[in-house]
Chains A and B, each alone.
Chain A
Amino acid sequence: MMAKKSPWPLIVMALWVAALALTPVALGNYEVRIAISIAMFTALALSWNIIGGFTGYPSFATAAFYGIGCYVGALAQRAGVPAALAWLAAAAFVGGVSFLLGSIVLRLKGHYFAIGSIALVDISRLVVSSWGGVTGGGNGLNVPLLEGRPPEVSALVLHVMLVIVVAAFLANLLTDRSRLGFGLRCIEQNEDAADMVGIDTTRYKIAAFVLSAIFPGAVGAVYASWVGYIDPTDSFDILTTVKVPVMAMLGGAGTLLGPVVGAVSFVLLEELFWANFLEWNRAIMGAIVVALIFFLPGGILKLDWRAILRRAPRGKPAERKTG
Chain B
Amino acid sequence: MGFAQILANGMVLGTLYACIAIGFSLVWGVLNVINMLHGSFIVLGGYLTYFAWAYTGISPVLILPFVAALLFGLGYGLQYLFINKVVSAPVLTTLTLTFGLDMILYNLMTVFFTATPRRVSMEFGRLEFWGVAMPVDRLIGMGLALLLTALLFVVLKTSRIGRAIVAVRMDREAAALMGIKVNHIYAITFGIAALMAGAAGSVFAMVFPVTTNLSGVFLGKAFVICVIGGLGGVSGALVGGLALGIIESFAGVLIGPQNAITVGFVLMLVLLIVRPQGLVGVKGYE
Contacts and interface: CB of A to CB of B under 8 A. Distances in A.
Interface of A: 52, 56, 58, 60, 104-105, 107-108, 110-112, 114-116, 118-120, 122-123, 126-127, 129-130, 238, 242, 245-246, 249, 279-283, 285-290, 292-294, 297, 323
Contacts of A286: 99-104, 106-107
Interface string B73-113: 00000000010011001111101110111111011101100
**Which A-B residue pairs are the 9 nearest by beta carbons?**
A286-B103, A289-B100, A283-B107, A286-B104, A58-B92, A282-B107, A126-B262, A290-B100, A130-B258
Contacts of A123: 262, 265-266, 269
Contact of A285 (B90, B103, B224): B103
Interface residues of B, number: 43
B272 A108 contact: yes
Contact of A287 (B85, B104, B111, B272): B104
B100 A293 contact: yes
B97 A293 contact: yes
Given A58-B90, A294-B82, 10 more contacts: A56-B90, A108-B272, A110-B90, A111-B91, A118-B223, A119-B265, A119-B269, A238-B216, A290-B97, A323-B90
A300 B273 CA distance: 37
B193 interface: no
B227 interface: yes
B101 A126 contact: no
Nearest to A287: B104
B32 interface: yes
Nearest to A110: B91
A206 B28 CA distance: 27
B275 to A, nearest CB: 11
Contacts of B162: none
Contact of A112 (B100, B110, B276): B276
B276 A287 contact: no
A199 to B, nearest CB: 21
Contacts of B85: 294
Contacts of B223: 115, 118-119
B107 A290 contact: no
Residue with the highest number of chain B CB atoms closer than 10 Å, among A116, A129, A285: A116
B116 to A, nearest CB: 16
B95 A287 contact: no
B65 interface: no
B34 interface: yes
B280 interface: no
B132 interface: no
A283 B103 contact: yes
B286 A249 contact: no
Nearest to A253: B92
B135 interface: no
Contacts of A104: 269, 273
Contacts of A238: 216
A297 B96 CA distance: 11
Given A52-B92, A289-B99, A122 B273 contact: no
Contacts of B261: 126
B259 interface: yes
Interface in B173-191: none
Nearest to A138: B258
B268 interface: yes
B220 A111 contact: no
A115 B276 CA distance: 12
Contacts of A283: 103-104, 107-108
B257 to A, nearest CB: 10
Given A108-B273, A111-B32, A126-B262, A293 B93 contact: yes
27 contacts: A114-B92, A116-B269, A119-B269, A120-B269, A122-B220, A122-B265, A127-B262, A238-B216, A242-B99, A245-B92, A246-B96, A280-B107, A282-B103, A283-B108, A286-B102, A286-B104, A286-B107, A287-B104, A289-B96, A289-B97, A289-B100, A289-B103, A290-B100, A290-B104, A292-B100, A293-B97, A297-B93
Contacts of A122: 220, 265
